[in-house]
Every structure is written in structure tokens, then in C-alpha cells.
Structure 1
Amino acid sequence: MVPRHALSMLPPVKYPETSVDAFVADLRSVCGQFDVRPGKERVNMRGGALLDTRAGIEMARIAMDVQQVVRTQKSVKQESGEHYFLIVQEEGKALMSQADVSVMMSPGDMVLIDSAAPSEFTFFGHFNRQLSLHLPRAELHSRFGYDLLQGGLSLPRHDPTNMALYGVLAKVFSTTEANNPTNHYLREAVMGLLGAMLHERSGREDFAGIDSDLGSSHALTAAQAYIDTHYRNPEMSVQLMADDLCMSVRQIQRGFASIGTTPTKYLMLKRLEHTRRGLEDRKAGRRDDLIASIAYEAGFSDLSYFNRCFRQAFGQTPKEFLKLDILQAF
């Protein structure tokens, strides 16, 4: 069972209507150089960006009804990238992309973002809220080593480490005294759980302990790379992938189970993200392909099936996505 959001213990915040420019200024002062894409011809929005410090951890409460928040390569070059952001999805749905990783986040899910690399969040729903824990880059490298840390690591809501983190955050939010002696231990608990997740994902022998865990890590890495390369092939299947990788289907399934998903869902996510980007390009006038052409290009061979999957993932049909501002469809 997924625990109730520890974040509900925070004092409620009302987010009035504000200008997009004012929100961008607040977001940049709190989180750094990010660009905001509010949606077609919008100058006002509802939301805000508030900075807080609890148990010695700097954190931001971000709320918005915009379409996208993007950190570009140009933005990265303008800053030193001093933090990793542990993002907790509170409300709405967000598609996070960093490097070659795409993760659909629902309330309760978490993801680790590297501020030293470009990233993109696309939001769905009337309103989105996120909590962002700002973890010092130098400290994390000192604690865990550079090799373990990478942006785009997801921690789904049903994962035991995620549940443990929620328990610690609940205690953090219930402690209002800045000098409470338990703050140090709460901060260490957050860092310890993050380290446990990083080492578990690394497949290192000293933490994995058994060959099956190492095998799952290897299978996951190989299968993700395979899907990233071949997802546009409409004939691709888990069995074909297993045959090409000289693995069993069960090995691949166990690998994806370690990050709370399945190879089929990961394949679908890659195809849907490809079509979403293609439709965004068409909306922006960068291409004029038919919806069917964009879907087939991404590996879909059945247009009706594609339409159902797109609507289930993004809450609107591809035609609605093209005709309407993304926020008006919810």
C-alpha cells in the first residue's frame, strides 16, 4: 500500500494568479536557470515557487499550470550545476526527460535530476505540484562517488525505498524547530536512503550481495539500451529482444521489475514520447506530417491502438493535442 502523502503535512499554500514572467523569476531564484513554456499566447498563470529549509535540507515547493519547464544546455552553461534535485510529484502528472531517460511521474513518484545536465518536464492535468529537495552536488559525490550518480533515476511510489523516504519526510515536515536535535538524524536518514537506492541500482557486488541482483542490473542496462535503439521497429517484441541479447524473457522482466515497471511499458513510453515530440514539432510548424505518419515513425502499426494509448497516457487524443492548448483539454 502506498502511504498517504507526507507532503500533506506541510502548511497549505494558496497559489494566486500571477504573470508568467513573475513565476519564471521566482523559479529561477529558487531552482536556478529554467525556461518556462506556459502554452500558446499565455501571459498569466496560477502557481508559485517557494524555498524552505527543513532538517538542514533546502527544498522548493513548486506549483504551476504551465505546459513545460525546461533546462537547456545553454542554461547549464550559465550555471555551475551545484545540486542534484530529488523531485517528488505531489499533484498532476509529469513526463520527465533527461539524457536518454524518460519517466512518467504520477503523485507519489520520485526522480533524481542532475542540474548539470539538460532536463525537460512536460505537465498534464489542471494543476501540478512538486517538491524538490536540493542536494549539494559536492556532498553527494563525496558520500557516494561520481560513478553512482546520474540524472533520471526514478523511484516509483510502490518501491520500498520510496515508502521509507516518505516516512522520513513526514517526520521532517512535522518538525518545525530549526534547532531540533533530531534534524541531523533526519537529514542523515534521507541521505542514507538515497545512498541505498543508488547502490542498489548500481549492481555493485558489495551491496547487491547475490548474483541474481547483479544479473538483474545487467539485464536492465542491456534491455534499456536495446529498446532505446530499436523502439521504432514495429516488429520489436520482448521475445525478439531476449533472443538478440541472449537472455531469457524472465531475466529482462526481473531487470525492469527492479525499477518498478515492465519492458512493455518502457517500450510504450519511448514510442509515446517520440510521438509527443513529433506532434509538438507539428504544432510549432517544424513539420507537417500526418498523425498517422508520426505514429508509424515511432513504431506503432495500428492507428486505433496508438490513439487509445496516447489518450490513456496524456488525457487527450492526438487530434485534441494538436488543436488545443494542452492545458485546455483537462
Structure 2
Amino acid sequence: MQQNSSIIRLSTEDFPERDRVAIFREQFGRSQFGLDIAALPQVPFRLTSTMRSLPGAVITSNVGSGVRVWRTREFLADGRDDLIMIMNLQGPSVVAQRGEEIVLDERSATLGTIGEFGGILRPQTNHRSLIVNLPRAAIGPLMPNADDAVLRPIAPDCTALRLLIRYAGALLDIDAPLQPELQRCIVDHIYDLVAAAVGGTRDAIEVARGRGIPAARLSAIKSDILGNLLSRNLSIETICARHGITPRYLRMLFAGEQTTFSDFVTGRRLALVLRKLRNPDRAGHTISAVAYECGFGDLSYFNRVFRRQFGMTPSDVRAQGVATRR
């Protein structure tokens, strides 16, 4: 198991096959969540779980197959009654609770509770899911009728669900610790998105629209930009098409942070160029090659914005790096 102050990762690939089920059952299932984890017959047990704990929410990513995760009557005695947002990303999941079963297709979701008997079956290979544990007392004011939503399917085209998937996934990609005030803000955004996806009170939805949803959408857009920073096809149009929004709305989101889409992209590309020019392993690459590699197509524009950003030319930066190494 790999662990730092922010992220915990546990993978079956790190242990002998004979010990995998027992280790997951004890270290992740029983200790962390009060759940029983078991292998399914005739399906290889493969599981990699990544978890981030925040004050008021726990985000877990699961990748694998052949697993049964169950809240048994033995564990119900602990009195926990968290709500869980189950988001299925790839491969079908079977979610059972209250004597009913539903099959979650890709990118669909449902709300569950660990205060009742039930669980999840992942019978196929290459399964991926995201789960967010939410203390009922904390999110209850936003969703006073949450019990009525348990096991109600949430369709893949739900905008709040799509944002929640991107937002929660991005938080698991950040290994660095988060400042306490930032953690509180993040948890508020998660609550807002869950309430909007499940169907909270009208007041809660209005709060989410004004506070959490725009911030979460902008976070997802920034994550998308950073993932495609080197692409020649990165543009407002391509980003808007992927996120189902208009260019005008995207510009408004960036304007809320006193910046623009273009400035954000250029700033990140310039920072990447700066790191590469200072890297001794890249000393054999020309400055123009590094600029093109980082997404700049116009060399004169690149030189101009680089000098304006850092107060020196790319050649000055490279020469400075060489002198430092000497």
C-alpha cells in the first residue's frame, strides 16, 4: 500500500495472489469503510483502489474486476449511516439495497447508504468506478429527502453528474496536500454537485448554481486543458464541444478569475517551456523545438510573450541554466 498525507493506493498487483482478497478485506474493506470484500467465482480478482480523505467527504476510485463489496449485518452494528454516491465509469455494476437491484451502465450513477444492508457487484473485467462517501449529517440539509433517492438511477446526461465525475477524478490526480481552507471549499463544491445530481431542495440547487457548479465546471475545464496542453487542436471550440457549453459561457467562467482562456493556456505552456529550458537533459534541443513541442506554433509570438512573462529571453534562461550547472 502506498500512502502519503493525501492519497492512499492499494493494488492487488502488489501482493501474492493467495493473499490479495484477505489484504483488501482487512486493510481497505473492514478498516476503512466497514465493508466486506470478497472475490467472485470464475472471474479474476483484480482491484486497484485510490482514496483521498477530506473533512466531510472520502473519494475512492476503483479499477478492476471480480469483486463483491457488501455492507453486511455484522458491520451495521457500528452505527454508520453515510450516504454514498456511486458513479460507474466503465463496465456494468450491480447495486443492491432494500431488496432491489439496479444495473448501472457507463457514466450513470445512483445514491446508496451504508446505514442499510446491501452492496455492489462488479462481475466483469476492466471495471472502473468512483465513490464519494458523505456524512449524512453534513449533506442532509441540502437533501432532506435523500432516502427517497436511494437506488434511483441518475442518467449519464445529467450535467451535475458529469461535473462531479470530472471534479472527483481530478482530486485523485493531485498527490500534493491541500490547504485546509481549500479542502473546505472543495467539499462544499462536492456537496453542491451531489445535491444537484440527486435532486436536492430548490434552495440547495440555487446555492449550487451560484457557488459550486461554476467552480467545479471551471476546475474540470482547466483539468481538460492541462491534459491536452501540447495538442495543436486545443481551442475554445474544442473545449466547449467536450463540455457541452458555449464559448461565451466559458469566457465568463475565466473572467470570474480575472483571466481569459487564452492567457490561461499561454501561461501554462510558458511554465512548461521554462521547466524544459532549465532541464539539463533538454540541452540538446533547440529553443524553437521546445516551443513547438509545448504547443506554440508562432515563434515570434512565443518569444514576445515569454519575455513579457519572465523578464528575460528563452536564450537568457538557457544560458543561466548552463552557468548554474557549471
TM value normalised by structure 2: 0.49
Which is greater in Rg? 2
Q: Which has the higher contact order (CA 8 A, sep 6+)?
A: 1
TM value normalised by structure 1: 0.49
